[in-house]
Amino acid sequence: MASRWMSGWFVAALVSATFDGNAFAASDLVEKVQANLDAGQTAKAAPVAEAWLSEAPDDEGDTMSKILEEVLAANEQYAASFDKGDLPMPPARGFAVLTCMDARLDPAKYAGLSEGDAHVIRNAGGRASDDAIRSLVISYKLLGTREWFVIHHTDCGMETFTDEAMRGLLACSLETSTVDESGWHDHGAGPGSTEGDYIDWLTISDNAQSVVADVRRIREHPLVPDRIPIYGYIYDCKSGRLIEVPEATKASKAS
């Protein structure tokens, strides 16, 4: 038997497959096993892998419990020095942002916000859905915002599927799907649900045009006054910059 019974790439592939594509700290396992291999200690490599795998979460519930603990610990640290309990309800800087829920976007950082500064409304794609407009109307009518931003972003997941694709995936099963070069794929055993057929998923085929469409919809909504300017931008995930969509600016000025 060869002394190096696993190479690093094989270990990584093993871990990735074990966790159905969601490698659980795979680099930790690769590092530990490879260290034994490099030292010529083949016999110790397999037990390291087995021990590590036995400590990995058995199911999603275990993982979520770990996440819950981390969130509560972070909150304790935040609350320990919290000094903003007297902030008023209306946003101090008088504006609102409608943007995507994508985890790579941090509106507080890219727009220079602190607690109490502005309303931030988020959904998949940052789309002007009925519920987003509900929030914007409350934002101005009751809480006094005077300017609004619609901010989409590059490399948005909403560009990777269609309404029909989403409905098909949900009809197959309610398990998490995977994606590759050919698109999204369902691997669940089912059952799924056809309830997705009744939802407008507001997918995106053209990023800039989706910003224009959302600004125009908000601008033309009967509950939105003409006096509120609406700015349309795309956040560049590579540079962190906000890029204006000129056509959205024009749509905002139309009445």
Q: What is the pLDDT of residues 181-202, one digit of tens each?
A: 999 999 999 999 999 999 999 9
- Kindly provide the b/e burial profile for residues 167-196, where b requires at least 16 CB atoms within 10 angstroms of the residue's own CB: bbbbbbbeeebeeeeeeeebeeeeebeeeb
Looking at the DSSP bridge assignments, the partners of residue 243 are: 234
Domains and CATH numbers, the chain: 1-82 (no CATH), 95-159+201-253 (3.40.1050.10), 163-198 (no CATH)
Quick one: which H or E segment has residue 234?
strand 230-235
Model confidence pLDDT, tens digit, residues 202-226: 999 999 999 999 999 999 999 999 9
Residue 40 CB neighbour total at 10 angstroms: 10
Q: What is the reported pTM?
A: 0.75
Report d(CA 153, CA 71) in Å as an integer: 27
Nearest to 179 by CA among 166, 194, 192: 166
**Residue 1: exposure state from Cβ atoms within 10 A (0-12, 13-18, ≥19):** exposed
pLDDT in tens, 2-61: 433 334 433 333 334 333 444 444 445 445 545 544 555 444 444 544 554 445 555 555
**Average pLDDT for 107-128:** 98
